[in-house]
Amino acid sequence: MEGSGSRIAAILVLTLSFLTCIVLSEDASDAQPQVPCFFVFGDSLVDNGNNNDLPTLARSNYRPYGIDFPEGPSGRFTNGRTVADIIGQFLGSKGFIPSYASARRSNTLGVLFSTPGAAGTSGLNFASAAAGIRQETGKHLGANYYLADQVRQFNSTVQSLRGSFGNDTELNIYLSKCLYGFSIGSNDYLNNYFLPDIYRTSHQYTPSAFAEVLAQEFSGQLSKLYDLGARKFAVFGLGLIGCIPFELARMNNTNNSTCNEDQNKAIELFNIKILQLVKRFNTDLPGARFVYGNIYDRFRDLLSNATAYGFTVTNKSCCGVGPNNGLITCLPNQTPCQNRTTYLFWDSFHPTEALNMFFAIKSYNSTSPSDIYPENIQQLATA
């Protein structure tokens, strides 16, 4: 009876989530866009193809990546949509926000913003896989655009937009209404601080000091965006990196889902700094509105109550090699799992579309400050 009850609960949760997705998607397609543009900054959790032409191992423009995505393999590190894709749809985007690399390659930067709002929410995605807040992060894998590079790309975009607006005042008003999303920092740990044989940061800084250094560098880049006209910021904290299949595989943890809590404690220190940063900027920067997405605690809750949310596999990836399918990430043309909606992780590092949907819904319309603080993304967008 107890097992039957769990299955019924899981079915109810999945049904509710599915209906919520339909309602939000219909609202997004029928209603006016909530923001004129959406700009995305970050790493592989939200990268949608900016690394495709870079000399790097951090690329995913091959099958089975994108197996559930309408455009197939696109450079997204998941089976379907990223959190940024889903939030973009909720905001009113008629299609997917393009990558900066694709827009620049096709010379369509001006076209994207020539008639603001005419085709729903427009925008650009600057995110780059393996990138971090620090310049050296992830460079052992090859080239990437770290956060300062992404901000410079946005600056270049702003300069190119000047011709589409009558004057700087109109452009600044336009930019102030846009949403700026951030999902970055994971690689500063995974592909920097937690690799002491390659990077010196763990020898130079205690976990607390490293979190402070990252927060200061992040603060500087956010301030630059504010000076360029950004006013609405959605900043996502980091998840439980110590619980991803890659880390479980390194511990050879195949029988249970015990996490590397030393790593999680280091991540928590960073998240605390970023929440403090959000609170300070909301007070100190005139006209700015910042929200903080609490991925860390929601992930902890999800791991403890996975079946209640419809997930049954929490300690191995849908596609990968080695213990927990996590030692080596998803290989070209590898056959992934069939029941992808029940897996938390797509590959060694990245969530499935189902988990991305969970986080997107929480951040977009939750009324709990423990999910997103001090307001949700829908409230931020329409303010």
Residue type, 272: I
Strands (E), 67-205: 122-125, 179-183
- Contacts with 253 (C-beta within 8 Å, 6 or more apart), sequence order: 315, 323, 324
Give the mean pLDDT of 316-329.
95
**pLDDT for position 256:** 60
Quote the tokens at residue 128: 């780059």
Alpha helix stretches (DSSP H) within 125-260 = 147-161, 168-177, 186-188, 201-204, 207-227, 245-250
| 138-192 confidence digits (pLDDT tens) | 999 999 999 999 999 999 999 988 888 889 999 999 999 999 999 999 999 999 9
Sign of CA dihedral 153, 158, 161, 162: negative
Query: What would the two tokens of residue 366 be?
Result: 């939750």
Give the pLDDT confidence score for residue 162 in this predicted structure.
86
347 in catalytic set = yes
pLDDT (tens digit per residue) in 7-37: 443 434 444 444 444 445 445 445 689 999 9
Rounded to the nearest 5°, which phi and psi values hold at 262?
-65, -40
Q: How many CB atoms lie within 10 A of CB 256?
A: 8
Lowest mean pLDDT among 19-33, 66-80, 369-383: 19-33
Chain position carrying tokens 């402070």: 212
**185-199 confidence digits (pLDDT tens):** 999 999 999 999 999
The pTM of this model reads 0.92
Q: Is 44 a catalytic residue?
A: yes
Q: Which of 43, 85, 128, 350 is catalytic?
A: 350
190 alpha-carbon distance from chain centroid: 15
3-state helix, strand, coil in the chain (%, to 5): 50, 10, 40
Give the model's pLDDT for residue 94: 86
Q: Which of 99, 347, 348, 366 is catalytic?
A: 347
What's the pLDDT score for residue 1? 38
Summarize the confidence of residues 253-268 as an average pLDDT: 84
Beta-strand ranges (E) seen in the chain are 37-42, 122-125, 179-183, 232-236, 289-293, 313-317, 343-345, 372-373
Average pLDDT over residues 33-46: 97
Give the model's pLDDT for residue 6. 40
CA distance 13 to 65: 27
Q: Are 192 and 184 in contact (CB under 8 A)?
A: no
